[in-house]
Structure 1
């Protein structure tokens, strides 16, 4: 399955390898001086033919950007986490409930949740992303309107929930009923698309660590999402980033929340199994 090509023609330049100085072996991400992050880990078994090691995008960033993520006081994403905490406690919808009405304290009830998403939902008989689960809680549990997929409210709520799992390793299941969706995502990951004839793997598997335009390519893991991007001063969700990446190949992209991006999210999340949840991370 391929993305539909547009007619625009553009050039892509991938230059010689460059790694930020923070890629030294003795560097480690420790948030607030106490939350130790696993930023390098043996590649999951399903990547054995492609990678020996999975590496967090944190290692590809400048010292200054790394330092922002290491301290919540300096991390610009944390203002959105604070806003989401207000959302968590706000009564919404016809059932006069807030998130806290059912889940009580977010620190306790959401600990570990981020590590397993996306995951198979038995009741719905499909793979569910965190966005889908949040919207189910809003509409079914609270009688409120669903939030825009990958919108600002959704991104900050994902960030709040993800914070409760920081430091815990990603452990997304890809077997059983989720396997077919995972295979679809894998197919998308390796499918070349657009006028530049690139796949996700072209950049994030074959050229990670190299300079692309003015940035440095990571392995493309999403354990740090939602991510605060300095270039646009806001939180970005996985589907928001997928949309941008596909457009960078000069192709017509799918929409956030589409079946294609759900499958791609499951596959990409599984590539980062073993790395710590870092969200909300800071990237260029």
Structure 2
């Protein structure tokens, strides 16, 4: 990232992703659901009580018996405790809530859970990372391992450390999730992307969390 972009990300008065922060904070406290219960009613209005939570996803949902990312955990809480419908993938409300939660973990280390139940998902993600895709016949590893630091279309190729999602991407002029960014990579190699919310995206997300373990959460990050 350029020094100018790094400075933009660090400046809470200029970081464009923070335009969504007020929406996320309001959604955290709203009781506009059949149960009449807000997120804050269960988890508290004090952000310190959820510090580090976003840094631990994807994680195992013991009730559902499957792994979920942060967006999945938000929807599980909505359905179980608020009797509210799930938020659509990439919905403004879902992104705003994820941003607000991620901000409470900013500076905390990415901490994938030490949970054997996640091993198959992580193995699937590691395999997908090495799998060639599309007409260009490229794998994630070809860009983000073998060519990290080189330039592609004027932008420097990163190592694939997903520490700041949801991010504000200048190309999008909007806030977006990690799965949206991954989808862009898949279409970029001229492959047919998996459907929104498909398990392949979650597997890649789990693999990326392991790659970034110990690195500080940057949410909300700004990227080119």
TM-score by length of 1: 0.76
CA 1:203–1:87 in 2, change beyond 3 Å: closer, same or farther?
same
Which structure has more relative contact order (CA 8 Å, sep 6+)? It is 1
Q: Which runs of 5+ in 2 are unaligned?
A: none
CA distance in 1, matches of 2:162, 2:14: 21
- The answer on whether the counterparts of 1:150 and 1:256 sit within 8 Å (CA) in structure 2 is no
SS of the residue 1:127 aligns to: strand
Corresponding residue of 1:213: 153
CA 1:181–1:174 in 2, change beyond 3 Å: closer, same or farther?
farther
Corresponding residue of 1:54: none
Q: Which runs of 5+ in 1 are unaligned?
A: 1-60
SS of the residue 2:72 aligns to: helix
Q: Which has the higher helix share?
A: 2
Answer yes or no: is 1:108 the counterpart of 2:66.
no
Q: Which runs of 4+ in 1 moved over 3 A?
A: none
Answer yes or no: is 1:76 the counterpart of 2:16.
yes
- The answer on whether the counterparts of 1:173 and 1:270 sit within 8 Å (CA) in structure 2 is no
CA distance in 2, matches of 1:108, 1:167: 13
User: Displacement, 1:226?
Assistant: 0.8
Report the RMSD for the aligned CA atoms in angstroms. 1.2
User: Displacement, 1:154?
Assistant: 1.1
Q: Please point out which of 66, 72, 88 is paired with 1:132.
A: 72
Q: Please point out which of 159, 172, 175 is paired with 2:112.
A: 172
Corresponding residue of 2:166: 226
Corresponding residue of 1:163: 103
Answer yes or no: is 1:202 the counterpart of 2:171.
no
Query: Map of 1:1-284 to 2, 5 A cutoff?
Result: 61-173=1-113, 175-284=115-224
TM-score by length of 2: 0.96
- The answer on whether the counterparts of 2:78 and 2:86 sit within 8 Å (CA) in structure 1 is yes
CA distance in 2, matches of 1:193, 1:62: 29
- The answer on whether the counterparts of 2:29 and 2:45 sit within 8 Å (CA) in structure 1 is no
Q: Which has the higher strand share?
A: 1
CA distance in 2, matches of 1:124, 1:118: 14
- Greater Cα radius of gyration, structure 1 or 2: 1
CA distance in 1, matches of 2:196, 2:101: 19
CA distance in 2, matches of 1:214, 1:190: 25
CA distance in 1, matches of 2:142, 2:113: 25
CA distance in 2, matches of 1:65, 1:106: 30
SS of the residue 1:247 aligns to: helix
User: Displacement, 1:175?
Assistant: 4.7
